[in-house]
Structure 1
C-alpha cells in the first residue's frame, strides 16, 4: 500500500470505464483524483464515480468517491483514502497544481478516460506519465501510451507507439443484441427518466421521455443504465442501456470491459514508472 501512496494520478472523466480504471489504481495503492464536467452524461451511473457530482458521494465495490469543492477537500479526501471528484471541465488544475497539494502528493500520471474519441489536449509534458484511453491520441507523440478500448482480441492492450483502433460505433454484443440494446435520443431536447436502473423492462415499454417524445425499449431485459434526469440531449445521443441478461448484480458491478482497460492502464503505469 505504502509504495505508491504519495503518487497522485489525475483522471479526466468518471464514467464506467474511467471508474474501472480509478478503482483498479486505488486498490493498487495509488492516490487517485477525478476531474469531471458540471453535468456528466454517463449511462451506467450506478458504477460511475461521476455520480458523486449529483449525489455528493458514491461507493462502488467498497471504494468511495466524494465531490470536492476546493484543494483542501481534495487533500482531506486523499488522506482518508477516498477518491475526490473535482468539477474542472477544462482540467485547469493541471496547468498549476496547488502548492499545498504538491506538498503531500507527487503528480505521477495524467489519464484521459473521457472516451471522447478525440484529443482533449494532453501532452507528454503534463506529467511523468500521460496516457490516453481509446482513439484520439498517438502514443510516442502526444502521450506516452494508449489503451485499446475496442472489444475483441486487443481489448486492454497497451500501445507505446501508434494509436488505438477507430471507434466502430457498434455496441458490444450481449446474447445476440447489440444496436437494439442501446437507446438513443430521438431528437434534441431534455430527457426525463420514468423508471430506475435495475428495473425489469419489456419490449415496447417507455423508459423515459425527451421532451414529450417517449423513449421505448427495443428488447426485453433490465435497465442497466440511463443518464441522469433533466439533462439536455442531442439527436442520436446514447441515453439508456437495456441488458437482456437481466442480472441485477451487473447493474452495480464494474464491467468486464472496464476491468480489461483498467488492467492495461495499470500495466502501462507500472511499466513507465521509474522506480528507485
Structure 2
C-alpha cells in the first residue's frame, strides 16, 4: 500500500462513492466507508454500501466488508479490503479516527445529497465534497463536479459545482423516465432482479400493492433492497434503455470520472504538503 498513513474516510457507499473507492484503493490509500444502518442504495451490485445489507460484496477488484467496530474497520482498511461501518454521524466514531499515526484523515462527502447536510472544513485536514450544495473554500476544500457533460469529474478549488437541475441526465435518450419511483408508501417487493431485461409495461414489483411497471424496454440496472420501507415518490429503481446487462455489474463511467477527480484532488493536496 503506497499511502498507508493517509486514511480516507468516505461518507456514503453508493455507486458514485464506489467509483471513488475504486480509484483511491488502486492508488494505494486505505479507506473506511461510513453508511446508514439501512442504505437506500439503488445500484446495489456496484455499491459498497451493499456490504451492510449482505455482510460483504465483491465489485470488480474491490472487496467490501461490513465492519462491526472502528477497530475492525481500521484493521480491514490496512489489509486492503474496504470496510463499511454503520456510522451516519461522524460523532459516532469521534476521536478514534481523528488522527492515524501523525496524519489527519482525508474526509470525502460522497453522499450526493445535492445539499450540505453537516460537512465543514474543520472535520479533516482535507475535506472533499461531491456535487452541488457545497462551496470550495467555505464548507470544504474542494468540490468535484458530478453533472454529466464537459465538466464531469473536474476539481473545483474555489466555487461550487453546477446547480442541481432536478432532472436525471439523459442516457440513451431517456431522462426522468428511466428513474423508477415509489407509487405509494410502504414496503418494496420485487418480482425481478437487477440485470433482468424487461419489456415496456412489464410488471417489475410493487409497493404496498401498488404496481411498478417498466416505462420502456431496457435492463434493470438498479433496484432498492427488497423489503425496504419507502415513501411515495422516492427513487427505488433505475432502468437503462441501452440494455447492456454487463453494465449492471461494473462501475459506471460517471463514477470512475468522479473518482478520478477525487484522486486528483487528494494527490494535489499531498503534493502541496510535501
Report the TM-score when normalising by structure 2: 0.95
Give the Cα separation in 2 of the matches to 1:235 and 1:262. Answer: 32
Is the counterpart of residue 52 in structure 1 residue 21 in structure 2? no
> Which of 241, 250, 255 does residue 252 from structure 2 map onto?
255
Quick one: distance in 1 between partners of 2:242 and 2:6?
39
1:13-68 Cα distance to aligned partner (Å, 9 max, x none): 00000000011101110001100001111110000000000110111111101000
Give the equivalent residue in structure 1 for 2:31: 32
Q: Is 2:40 aligned against 1:41?
A: yes
Q: C-alpha separation between the residues in 1 aligned to 2:37 and 2:23? A: 25
Asked whether the equivalents of residues 185 and 233 of structure 1 are also in contact (C-alpha less than 8 Å), the reply is yes
**Residue 176 of structure 1 is aligned with which of 167, 173, 176?**
173
User: 2:100 corresponds to which residue?
Assistant: 102
Structure 2 distance, partners of 1:193, 1:35, is 27
How far does residue 174 in structure 1 lie from its aligned partner after superposition?
2.1
Q: Residue 14 of structure 2 corresponds to which residue in structure 1?
A: 15
Q: Is it true that 1:267 corresponds to 2:264 in the alignment?
A: yes
Residue equivalent to 1:130: 127
- Confirm or deny that 1:114 pairs with 2:134: no
Q: CA deviation at 1:170?
A: 1.6
Is 1:166 matched with 2:163?
A: yes
Deviations 1:44-101 (A, max 9, x none): 00000000001101111111010001122112212321011000011224531258x8
Counterpart position of 1:143: 140
C-alpha separation in 1, matches of 2:190 and 2:91: 33
CA–CA separation in structure 1 for the residues paired with 2:112 and 2:178: 20
Q: Tell me what 1:155 maps to.
A: 152
2:214 alignment partner in structure 1: 217
> CA 1:170–1:98 in 2, change beyond 3 Å: closer, same or farther?
closer
Aligned residues: 273
Q: 1:260 to 1:98 in 2, by over 3 A?
A: closer
Root-mean-square deviation over aligned CA pairs: 1.6
Structure 2 unmatched ranges of 5 or more: none
Structure 1 moving runs of 4+ over 3 Å: none
Contact 1:45/1:51 (8 A) holds in 2: yes
SS of the counterpart of 2:225? coil
Name the SS of the counterpart of 2:129 in structure 1: strand
Do the aligned residues in 1 keep the contact of 2:16 with 2:258 (CA within 8 Å)? yes
Query: Once structures 1 and 2 are overlaid, which stretch shifts more, 233-242 or 70-79?
Result: 70-79
